[in-house]
């Protein structure tokens, strides 16, 4: 620092100038906020180590000569108090606001889009940024998002939480390594993100894209360009990934996770793949021991009429796998998955070893889709899922119209005709629920007919093999390999010429003398005993009785009676 002296007055007395001058027009205001605490000042001749900043001279002395001599000062520079405030212009609204860097609370945002990336590599730069700007931060309160794509907006929940915490006053600065770590959406979404942060009373700062932290006439342009570049990069990356996956499929390698009952195997090592050694090798789906045991059984149970819940309970009792089995998972992710007949989704023409035939898969899917749904949640506790038996029923929608449990307050519970469709209307037919339940259970208790057990027979139509051979032949023809196409067609014709048995259902009866039989005429003549429908129904729990009636019997109700017939 310099001490400036100037002559003033007739006596030619010297007086010390300001150690740090007061504000004047044209000088930075921040200069006047710093002060020097000196313990001693020793005048000396001008020293070469000092630079004389003329802006620090008093404004009235700038136009005339001044006797300036250097002084050696022992002391310290003191930080301004209170903290200097500066004005910051919001990019999204154009409104200015005050901010103070020192002591502001900040939180760190770390995100990577794939599982093999490490978000920890961003941490040193984020910490350095906060330390440089004197932000207060806690490494335990970071937002760490692993394996979530911003291009597909998978980071949305974490981003909403970050903005919510900012609005609640937990912090005011969200520090992000780069713009594409938090946003890869459209330009409009980028401006909306900036506006959300402003509305929450804070801001977002970027370590690498520092130009986005500046406020000038080009701020909006730079934000738009950065958002466009980030989105374009993601789109091109997606296109490159698709090209790579197509190449892997063409080479016979599977893509994605293995469905339950399969495992991924490296063909070069014949073991589960290990990164990075097995990365260039071809991978296949190979059935596991549990898959070979339980998958065919699941499909057969669905075909036999067992509910999804029954299948889940059976798997839990068997200790199959480590999953928490439930009917929704079995119905939506297992029985509907084409991988189990050898054609995984998004695999193109790539095939894997099937665990069931196509006909079995198709039959199980049809069996699950055709299940009678019990309607409203209250209907789950009712014994029956009846239909209206009124001959002149004029309810809306397809007939027969369903009847649901009616819970009118102060009135007896009834099964009431409700009609079908979004604006459904019933015909008014209502039957007392207790009376209807008694009619049906009485009819089942009196049914002495032999109980038939239905079993699905897959048959040997060879439709799967024939269809696959024809597809291979058509593909070979497109590629110009006429010899391979001719060979595939020849094999398909040979299979078609063989005797075939189409997939079908068969009914079996349990004879107490002969066991499982198909024709009961001879046993009836000889007086053999059979399991009857009444015995079968009496041995079921209430939940199983509801399922039995819903799946295998059509129950129609009128006010003076009930009709119970086997479901076709």
Work out the burial of residue 232: count CB atoms within 10 Å of its CB; fewer than 13 is exposed, 13-18 middle, 19 or more buried. Answer: exposed
pLDDT, residue 15, reads: 41
Q: How far is CA 539 from CA 18, 22, 441, 534, 542, in A?
A: 105, 100, 13, 9, 10
Using CA atoms, how far apart are residues 133 and 229, in angstroms rounded to an integer?
Answer: 28
pLDDT digits (tens, 9 = 90+) for 515-567: 767 777 778 788 888 888 888 888 888 878 888 888 788 889 998 888 888 87
Q: Specify the range with the lowest mean pLDDT, choosing from 262-276, 280-294, 490-504.
A: 490-504
Domains observed in the chain = 2-78 (no CATH), 86-233 (3.40.50.1390), 289-369 (3.90.1750.20), 377-449+532-566 (no CATH), 462-500 (no CATH)
Q: Tell me the pLDDT band of 1, cut-offs 50, 70 and 90.
A: very low
Residue of 498 and 29 predicted with greater confidence: 498
Work out the burial of residue 479: count CB atoms within 10 Å of its CB; fewer than 13 is exposed, 13-18 middle, 19 or more buried. Answer: exposed
User: Is 486 a residue whose pLDDT tops 60?
Assistant: yes
**Terminal Cα-to-Cα distance of the chain (whole angstroms):** 103
- Say which DSSP state 160 is in: H
pTM, rounded to two decimals = 0.42
Q: How far is CA 395 from CA 404, 415, 469, 558, 563, in A?
A: 13, 14, 50, 14, 19
pLDDT digits (tens, 9 = 90+) for 350-396: 778 889 887 788 788 888 876 645 444 434 567 888 999 888 888 88
Using CA atoms, how far apart are residues 323 and 329, in angstroms rounded to an integer?
Answer: 10
Using CA atoms, how far apart are residues 519 and 516, in angstroms rounded to an integer?
Answer: 10
- The number of residues in the chain equals 568
Contact 383, 440 (CB under 8 A): yes
Q: Tell me the pLDDT band of 174, cut-offs 50, 70 and 90.
A: very high
Average pLDDT, the chain: 76
Contact 313, 154 (CB under 8 A): no
pLDDT digits (tens, 9 = 90+) for 316-356: 888 887 778 888 888 888 888 888 888 787 665 677 888 98
User: Is 513 a residue whose pLDDT tops 90?
Assistant: no
Helix (H) or strand (E) holding 302: helix 289-303
Helix (H) or strand (E) holding 342: none
Cβ atoms < 10 Å from Cβ of 216 = 11
User: Is 177 a residue whose pLDDT tops 60?
Assistant: yes
In 3D space, the residue among 554, 533, 550, 530 whose CA is nearest the CA of residue 542 turns out to be: 550
The percentage of the chain sitting over the pLDDT mark of 90, rounded to a whole number, equals 12
């Amino acid at each position: 620092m310099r001490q400036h002296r100037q002559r003033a007055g007739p006596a030619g007395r010297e007086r010390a100038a300001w150690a740090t001058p007061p504000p004047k027009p044209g000088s930075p205001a921040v200069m006047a906020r710093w002060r020097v605490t000196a313990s001693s000042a020793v005048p000396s001749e001008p020293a070469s180590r000092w630079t004389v900043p003329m802006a620090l001279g008093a404004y009235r002395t700038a136009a005339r000569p001044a006797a300036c001599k250097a002084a050696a000062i022992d002391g310290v520079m003191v930080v301004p108090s209170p903290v200097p405030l500066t004005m910051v212009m919001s990019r999204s609204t154009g409104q200015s606001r005050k901010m103070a860097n020192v002591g502001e609370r900040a939180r760190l945002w770390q995100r990577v889009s794939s599982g093999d990336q490490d978000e920890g590599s961003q941490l040193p730069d984020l910490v350095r940024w906060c330390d440089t700007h004197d932000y207060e931060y806690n490494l335990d309160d970071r937002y760490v998002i692993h394996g979530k794509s911003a291009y597909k907006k998978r980071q949305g929940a974490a981003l909403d939480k970050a903005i919510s915490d900012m609005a609640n006053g937990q912090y005011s600065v969200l520090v992000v390594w780069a713009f594409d770590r938090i946003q890869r959406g459209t330009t409009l979404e980028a401006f909306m993100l900036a506006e959300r942060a402003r509305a929450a009373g804070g801001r977002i700062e970027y370590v690498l894209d520092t130009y986005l932290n500046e406020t000038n006439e080009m701020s909006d342009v730079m934000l738009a360009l950065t958002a466009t570049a980030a989105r374009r990069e993601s789109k091109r990356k997606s296109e490159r990934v698709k090209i790579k996956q197509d190449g892997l499929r063409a080479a016979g390698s599977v893509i994605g996770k293995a469905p339950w009952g399969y495992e991924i195997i490296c063909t070069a090592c014949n073991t589960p793949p290990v990164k990075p050694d097995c990365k260039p090798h071809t991978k296949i789906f190979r059935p596991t021991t549990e898959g070979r045991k339980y998958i065919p059984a699941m499909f057969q149970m669905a075909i036999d009429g067992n509910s999804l819940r029954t299948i889940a309970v059976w798997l839990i009792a068997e200790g199959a796998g480590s999953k928490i089995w439930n009917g929704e998972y079995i119905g939506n992710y297992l029985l509907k998955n084409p991988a189990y007949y050898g054609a995984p989704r998004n695999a193109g023409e790539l095939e894997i070893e099937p665990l069931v035939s196509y006909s079995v898969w198709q039959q199980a899917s049809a069996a699950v889709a055709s299940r009678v749904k019990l309607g409203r949640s209250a209907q789950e506790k009712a014994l029956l899922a009846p239909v209206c038996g009124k001959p002149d029923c004029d309810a809306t929608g397809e007939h027969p119209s369903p009847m649901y449990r009616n819970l009118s307050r102060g009135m007896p519970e009834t099964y009431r005709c409700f009609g079908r469709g979004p604006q459904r209307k019933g015909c008014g037919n209502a039957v007392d629920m207790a009376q209807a339940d008694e009619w049906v259970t009485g009819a089942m208790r009196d049914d002495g007919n032999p109980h038939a057990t239905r079993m699905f027979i897959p048959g040997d139509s060879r439709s799967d093999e024939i269809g696959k051979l024809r597809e291979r032949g058509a593909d070979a023809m497109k590629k110009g390999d006429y010899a391979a196409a001719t060979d595939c067609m020849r094999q398909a014709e040979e299979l078609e010429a063989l005797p075939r048995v189409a997939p079908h259902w068969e009914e079996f009866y349990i004879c107490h003398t002969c066991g499982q039989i198909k024709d009961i005429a001879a046993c009836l003549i000889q007086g053999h005993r059979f399991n009857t429908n009444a015995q079968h129904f009496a041995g079921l729990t209430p939940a199983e009785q509801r399922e039995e009636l819903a799946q295998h019997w059509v129950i129609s109700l009128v006010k003076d009676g009930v009709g119970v017939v086997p479901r076709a």
